[in-house]
Chain A
């Protein structure tokens, strides 16, 4: 009887009950740091990798948003300089955050080198660029010979280096990588990787940094027991490649967000994944999220991201090639929220300049 009544009511309105897609999931709050979904092959022209060259070996990307809320983004990457064989820093750009100047199908272009080794304290290779937008230009931090250098530019393409490191190696060992951000009070905050942990240094002017003391993030302790199906921590071996991105939360609190590469010793060797750690305020240790925010099993590392109106784009260094030839390192991309549907790239999506 009851079913019959409901059935009758159902048929009575059946013509008007072909429901639209359910709502309620739009513009949900997010810290902007994932979990991320790897871009599919159809979401990037010539994809799924965004920078892929077996000779230039693009690595260690750093994103710099070029507009507020838009997908216009510059990417500073390490590439192999063909004549010298040394690593230099190059710049590229995409207006849709996916199809970069100099990508494999952007025939005739490749990202130009904007920084190469030429200072006395530097080694032959530059690594791990960290671009910071400042009033009147872009400051580019980079790693070389275990220290962190600084180069300044008004257009993001032509840089002038400082003669001395912004943060020099100390007795703890070489600095592997660093990421710098400007805090709301105008001071500079640097997170850097050294000896398998992430440390912090601060600066009033961005030119010289002072270390703050203890590591802000160390490798996670091994799990003492695991539930069935529970994944072990992905970052028990070491943490590296910090990318720092401060923000004021909607509650008005300063949140220091850090993406990093976590390494663990697996049964088949060392594995990596991208993690997220954060803290409120200007000092103190970082708290880590409970799992990786991006893990695809391709030795992903060196995360960087930027936010736009609809979500966030993540760029990582990962294994490219492999199915028809030898594997090499390349730059891939991912997006959050994972449910975000990206429009297909334009027929000619590439910008005219880097």
Chain B
């Protein structure tokens, strides 16, 4: 029953390569500031950006938000219809003190709209937007603990959880070799959704009242996809075939990351954040399945009918490694305290980041499509102190718009007889969203 429930809530459709927050940020404030948050975040978004920031919270916070990222990723000028990423974001921060030391517990969550997890094993020759196609179709959960051992130092850490999958496909019945449309086959899918954990931790150092430095580490993880298929049945009553297939692949791989950055207030109403993220893309695991196939088809008593050739076990795929390069991604964000009218304060934000594509040249048989990515973001926020009597804290409402530009570039093939051939690729991603944070004193 439990598995059946999962099956309803989840589809085996398509390869996650990491987590959606790396691409679209966590919460509208951070996203609007170009994800330059390692030395600045102190709300629920610190669960992703830097757990140490949780220790700065003085109010119990509950946050809920939503975003939708729409892809317009094209090859040869035609939209490949990469699925949008959309879903709830949220979390909480629970501050307190132990032996006089400020501490906080935080929880962060992203729940996709359309599916909790998505898996896909594609032939290595098939073109796919490697970092966007399935990468972000995934549930994310993080739990962290932070404390402030010294007035100028925050330290935090915890675990993030991602969904992983294993499943079995059974097919049985009769295959009509002379008229495939009259085949009677029954299918049964059994899949289970598990979890994998990876660590994250960080620190934040205050440098006076106007500056802070931060550092965060996010661990790597690999989501393994294990699938098996069993086919058993009659071939036109001539003989009985047994076919078993077992595949094992890394369906999702998130490289480890180190983020260092600073947050500065050069003016009373202006905040400037700068982060640099090192991403260990060179450790990326090639997403091609290792197949083990067994085929047992005894010949019919009178031999095979004329024109029928029994299938044979295909040769093992020679996997061409996906070569990727480590990248340092700069992020810049600014926040302007635009107005302060009594209990209401307003903020305007903007940000930029750039990631040079880590994917190596695709001039061979593989087609892991990717392009350099410029991310431009902006947003607004309103903070209302004590909005109603039952909420003696504050209420913050933030919106964001993130626009990714992936300039079109050409991939050429060394082999003129390549069945995919030369292609151009590029496109855009729009990410819009909002977040509401309620703080309780």
Chain A residues proximal to chain B, CB less than 8 Å: 2-3, 5-7, 9-14, 16-35, 40-42, 226-231, 249-251, 253, 255-256, 276-280, 286-289, 293, 297-298, 322-323
CB within 8 Å for A229 and B312 given contacts A9-B111, A17-B10, A22-B120: yes
Task: Kindly identify which residue among B109, B316, B416, B421 contacts A9, using a CB–CB cutoff of 8 Å.
Answer: B109
Please indicate the chain A residues that have their CB under 8 angstroms from the CB of B114 in the complex: 16-17, 19-20
Closest residue of B by beta carbon distance from A248: B422
Whether A18 pairs with B8 at a CB distance below 8 angstroms is yes
Whether A249 lies near B315 (C-beta < 8 A) is no
Contact B419 A251 (CB under 8 A): no
Top 3 A-B residue pairs of the complex, sorted by shortest distance between their CB atoms:
A22-B13, A29-B423, A22-B14
Q: Is B129 an interface residue (CB 8 A)?
A: yes
A11 to B76 alpha-carbon distance, docked (Å)? 40
Q: Chain A binding site: helix, strand, loop or mixed by DSSP? A: loop
Residues of A within 8 A of B88 (CB): 13
Kindly specify which of B50-58, B190-198, B399-407 makes contact with the partner chain. Answer: B190-198
Q: Give 16 pairs: A residue, B residue, CB < 8 Å, sorted on A.
A: A6-B141, A6-B161, A9-B116, A13-B113, A17-B8, A17-B116, A19-B11, A21-B13, A22-B120, A23-B80, A25-B80, A28-B75, A31-B419, A278-B417, A280-B416, A287-B415
Partner of B307, one of A12, A250, A293, A322: A322
A75 to B67, CA, bound (A): 52
- Of B11, B312, B420, the contact of A29 (CB 8 Å cutoff): B420
CB contact between A14 and one of B5, B127, B178 (< 8 Å): that residue: B5
Interface centre among B83, B312, B416, B424 (most CB of A within 10 A): B416
**Is the CB–CB distance between A26 and B80 below 8 Å?**
yes
C-alpha spacing A287/B79, complex, angstroms: 30
A255 touches B419 (CB 8 A): no
B418 lies within 8 A of chain A by Cβ: yes
Is B9 an interface residue when CB atoms closer than 8 A count as contact? yes
Q: Are A19 and B115 in contact (CB under 8 A)?
A: yes
Closest to B132 in A: A24
Instruction: Point out the residues of chain A lying under 8 angstroms from B13, CB to CB.
Output: 19, 21-22
Across the two chains, which residue of chain A brings its CB closest to B118?
A: A22
Q: For the complex formed, measure the closest distance between the CB of A162 and the CB atoms of chain B, giving whole angstroms.
A: 33
Chain A residue with the shortest CB-CB distance to B411: A251
Contact B193–A10 (Cβ < 8 Å) = yes
Mostly, the B contact residues are loop
Are A6 and B127 in touch, CB under 8 angstroms?
no
B residues 105-128 in Cβ contact with A at 8 Å: 109, 111-116, 118, 120, 126-128
* Docked CA distance A36–B316 (Å): 22
Most buried by A among B10, B79, B87, B418: B418
The total of chain B residues at the interface (CB under 8 A) is 69
Find out whether the CB atom of A22 lies under 8 angstroms from the CB atom of B11: yes
A250 touches B424 (CB 8 A): yes
CB pair A250–B423 under 8 Å, yes or no, is yes
Cα A147 to Cα B13 with chains together (Å): 54
Cβ distance B430 to chain A, nearest Cβ, rounded Å = 16
Please give, as numbers and ranges, the residues of chain A lying within 8 Å of B120 by CB-CB distance: 22
Q: Which residue of A lies closest to B129 (CB)?
A: A24
> In the complex the two chains form, what is the Cα distance from A28 to B122 in whole Å?
13
Q: Tell yes or no: B97 within 8 A of A by CB.
A: no
Known contacts A17-B10, A19-B13, A23-B82: A276-B316 contact under CB 8 Å: no
* A230–B88 CA distance with the chains assembled, in angstroms: 48
From B10, B181, B421, contact of A30 by CB (8 A):
B421
- Docked-complex contact A31 and B420, CB < 8 angstroms: yes
> Which residue of A is nearest B82, CB measured?
A24
Of A14, A322, A323, most B-chain CB atoms within 10 Å = A14
Chain A CB count within 10 A is highest, among B113, B129, B421, for B421
Instruction: Check A6/B193 contact, CB under 8 A, given A31-B421, A323-B178.
Output: yes
Would you give the 0/1 interface string for B125-140, flagging 1 where the beta carbon is closer than 8 Å to chain A? 0111100011000010
Asked, given contacts A6-B193, A26-B81, whether A41 binds B181 with beta carbons under 8 Å apart, the answer is yes
Residues on A with beta carbons closer than 8 Å to the beta carbon of B139:
6, 9-10
Residue B341 is within 8 A (CB to CB) of chain A in the complex: no
Whether, in the assembled complex, B280 has its beta carbon less than 8 Å from a beta carbon of chain A, the answer is no
List of B residues within 8 angstroms of A293 by Cβ: 419
Q: How far is the CA of A24 from the CA of B126 in the complex (A)?
A: 11
Enumerate chain B residues within 8 angstroms of A251, measured Cβ to Cβ: 410-412, 422-424
The contact string, 1 if C-beta is below 8 Å from chain A, for chain B 152-191, is: 0000000001010000000000000011110000000000
* Contact A27/B82 with A227-B316, A293-B419 known, Cβ cut-off 8 Å: no
* Bound Cα distance A27, B82 (Å): 11
CB-based contact A34/B419 at 8 Å: yes
Closest approach, in angstroms, between the C-beta of A217 and any C-beta of chain B?
10
Chain A residues within 8 Å of B424, by CB: 250-251
Alpha-carbon distance between A289 and B419 when the two chains are bound, in angstroms: 8
Q: How far is the CA of A23 from the CA of B133 in the complex (A)?
A: 8
Chain B residues lying within 8 Å of A17, measured Cβ to Cβ, are 8-10, 112-116
The listed residue (B87, B307, B314) touching A297 by CB distance below 8 A is B307
Contact A5/B161 with A10-B10, A30-B421 known, Cβ cut-off 8 Å: yes
**Which of A5, A12, A40, A231 lies at the interface centre, i.e. has the most chain B CB atoms within 10 A of its CB?**
A5
Q: A29-B127, A227-B316 are in contact. List 8 more A-B contacts (CB 8 A).
A: A6-B116, A17-B9, A17-B114, A24-B82, A31-B418, A229-B314, A229-B315, A251-B411
Q: Which residues of A contact B134 (CB under 8 A)?
A: 24
Cβ-defined contact, A27 with B75, below 8 A: yes
Give chain B residues whose Cβ lies under 8 Å from the Cβ of A25: 80-81, 128
Roughly how many angstroms separate A20 CA and B13 CA in the complex, as a whole number?
A: 9
* Interchain CB contact under 8 A, A11 and B9: yes
